[in-house]
Each structure stands twice: as C-alpha cells, then as structure tokens.
Structure 1
Amino acid sequence: MEIRTDHHTLIADEPEVLSGADTGPTHFGLLLSALGSCTAITLRTYAPRKGWPLSGLRVRLAYERAPAAMESPVVDRIIRRIAPTGELDDPQRARLWTSPNAPRSPWPCGLGCRSRPGRTGDEATGRQPS
C-alpha cells in the first residue's frame, strides 16, 4: 500500500504469512516508528537547550497486546526503551524521563484510551527512571 504524506511516499504492507508481499513495514511498524521518532526528536532538541552532552540516542519500542480475556481499560501498551549516549550524569539521565518536554511528548495523547505508553529504564545501563 502506498501512503502519501506531504511530498513523501511510504510503503506499508503485511508479511507474506499474512497474505502480504512484505514490501514495507506493517501498520504497527509504522506506528512504532512514528512514536519512536517523536521521542528521539524531542530529546535531541531538549538536551542541547539544557547544555547536556547527549551525543547519541537509541529509542526502541515494542507493541504488547494484552490477552483478550483481560478486563481492564488498558488493552494494549507500548513499551519504550531509551538509551542515551554521552557524558550525562545520573540527574540528567533521570531528567530525560521526567522533563515536561521530553518523554511526555505528545504521542501518548494521540493513542486514545485503549493504549497506554509504558517505559523501562535506561537500556544501556539498566538504570530505572527515578
């Protein structure tokens, strides 16, 4: 399937086992890519404004579907792992999780009530956000 947005063209497809041609990412792959890029772009603009030495950033997202029998308003969730590189100290790393402009970027709002973002600690160090 061809997707056009502004002057860009993207391809979305399903794997062959689901009767697709596997010519592009699935709709969930595109969703996770969009959300991950939102986080990365937000953090890459936030850190320099604070004068922090953020030299690189890895954002990984996973979509987790809850069991159908689960009776909860949270049916699905997205797990986000952020692995910053650079000479950041512990308070700076923690602040990446709590900044009003950083991981609370607008993406959770657009997902509606059936999805809730989850988070884990710094992937590179295993530290948990404070």
Structure 2
Amino acid sequence: MTVVASKAEQGHYLTQLIADQAHWLADADGAQGEGTAPDPHQLLDAALAACTAITVRMYAERKGMALQDVVVTIRHKEEGGVYQMERQLQFIGDLTEQERARLTEIAGKCPVHKTLSGRFEITTQAQ
C-alpha cells in the first residue's frame, strides 16, 4: 500500500493524504495547526483504534458472538523517549466473561498492534 502526502489547497500546514480511492487530511499539532484535522500522532492512535475495532468485530462475527459494538479509546503520552499507548476496550452486547476475555486477547492480534509491537525499519529516498 502507498500513501502520498502533499500540501492541501488551504491551510498553512494542512496536508492531504491519498491512498488509492481514500482521501483525508492531517495537520500540525498544537498551536501550529488549525485544529481542523488530526495531527500525525492522532493518526497513529487512530490506526491502532480502527484496526482493533475492525479485528474484534470480525472475530466476534465469525464466532457468532452477540457483540453489538466495541468502542476503542487510545490515549498516548511520551515519557523518557518512549511513546506509550493505552488502549481501553468497551464491549457492547450480551457477552460472557469468557467471550470478553477472548475479545480482549484478539485485540492484541490486530495487524497494527503487531506492527507497533514488533521491529520495523524506515528507509528514506530523496529526489
């Protein structure tokens, strides 16, 4: 998959992002941004939240669980050079404690969680 970022038509740091048919915006954080789009750290948090929600819903559906929704909340902080993410899950539906425990375990198996927990490298090429 390829994501392309470039200056948006409006806004000082507002940035358009394009991946295939999907288009969305990002902005600088804090006082430098306009507050009309998520900043890069919020996008990172959103990737984990979305992947978790999708993975949990797909699993529950395959297993016939009575999950109506899962609300995923991500909070982050940086401390001592470490980016710390806290994930909270709220399962909505008539689920047993065993099902809730299994869905919590499945949350840790979403692809973005695996990526963020593993080793990865970034290479840069300039033109």
TM-score interval for Structure 1 and Structure 2 normalised by the shorter chain? 0.7 to 0.9
Identity of aligned residues (%): 33
Equivalent residues of 2:108, 2:114 under 8 A apart: no
**1:22 Cα deviation (Å)?**
2.2
SS at match of 1:78: strand
Equivalent residues of 1:14, 1:20 under 8 A apart: yes
Equivalent residue for 2:67, pick from 30, 43, 54: 54
Query: What does residue 86 of structure 2 align with?
Result: 79
- Partner amino acid, structure 2, of 1:93: R
The gaps in structure 1 that reach 5 residues or longer are 69-74, 115-130
Across the aligned residues of Structure 1 and Structure 2, the Cα RMSD in angstroms comes to 1.9
Are residue 11 (structure 1) and residue 25 (structure 2) matched?
Answer: yes
Q: What is the number of equivalent residue pairs in this alignment?
A: 105
TM-score by length of 1: 0.72
Equivalent residues of 2:67, 2:92 under 8 A apart: yes
Query: What does residue 110 of structure 1 align with?
Result: 115
Are residue 36 (structure 1) and residue 41 (structure 2) matched?
Answer: no
The within-5 A match list for 1:116-127 is none
SS at match of 1:22: coil
**What is the rounded CA distance, in whole Å, between the counterparts of 2:29 and 2:104 in structure 1?**
34
Q: Structure 1: which 4+ aligned runs deviate by more than 4 Å?
A: none
TM-score by length of 2: 0.74
**1:108 Cα deviation (Å)?**
2.6
User: Closer, same or farther in 2 for the Cα pair 1:93/1:16, shift >3 Å?
Assistant: closer
The gaps in structure 2 that reach 5 residues or longer are 1-14, 121-127
**What is the rounded CA distance, in whole Å, between the counterparts of 1:61 and 1:113 in structure 2?**
21
